[in-house]
């Protein structure tokens, strides 16, 4: 009978650990920007639509939901890229399970885009009477009231 495996040491939970976690997150974000063209395209998409979401004459909650749907795309793309890089790091040969995992990651990004289109469509449709009258050009904006 083999020796029992000792439990792992508990992780350090202090401010230095938090700062290191933030550094890892920034490194991951930079790596995605540097090495993933689809991530850069998604960032451009989000950068264009973020001011539109803020300017549209909708309630603050609707603006927040619209922005959240954009960030879901970024999150899904980051996870998809992580899956693809991990699989490619393990082996570049064609394998059925690797293809399935990559396809599932791509499906998650696709569903995030569908979610965004539906959320934006519903919010714009339900507020169309204010959008078509250019109410969003008045000051102060509706979300500040």
Show me where the domains of the chain are located.
Answer: 37-144
Angle at 63 between CA 127 and CA 22, to 5 degrees: 165
Residue 143 confidence (pLDDT) above 70: no
Specify the length of the chain in residues: 145
Residue 138 confidence class, pLDDT cut points 50, 70, 90: low
Per the listing, tokens 């603006």 go with 63
CATH number of the structural domain 37-144: 1.10.287.3610
Structure token pair of residue 72: 């879901």
Residue 87 confidence (pLDDT) above 80: yes
- Count of alpha carbons within 13 angstroms of residue 43, beta-carbon side: 11
- Other C-beta atoms lying within 10 Å of the C-beta of residue 38: 14
Alpha-carbon span 3 to 38, nearest angstrom: 47
**pTM across the whole model:** 0.81
Which residues are known catalytic residues?
Answer: 77
Share of the chain above pLDDT 70, in %: 93
pLDDT of residue 141: 63
pLDDT of residue 134: 73
């Amino acid at each position: 009978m083999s020796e029992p495996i000792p439990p792992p040491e508990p992780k350090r939970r202090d401010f230095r650990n938090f700062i290191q976690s933030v550094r890892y997150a920034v490194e991951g974000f930079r790596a995605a920007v540097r090495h993933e063209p689809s991530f850069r395209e998604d960032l451009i998409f989000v950068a264009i639509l973020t001011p539109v979401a803020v300017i549209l004459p909708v309630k603050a909650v609707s603006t927040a939901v619209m922005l959240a749907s954009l960030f879901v795309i970024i999150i899904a793309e980051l996870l998809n890229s992580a899956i693809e890089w991990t699989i490619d790091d393990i082996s570049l040969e064609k394998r059925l399970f690797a293809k399935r995992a990559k396809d599932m990651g791509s499906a998650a990004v696709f569903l995030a885009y569908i979610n965004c289109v539906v959320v934006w469509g519903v919010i714009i449709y339900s507020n169309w009477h204010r959008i078509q009258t250019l109410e969003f050009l008045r000051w102060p904006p509706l979300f500040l009231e």
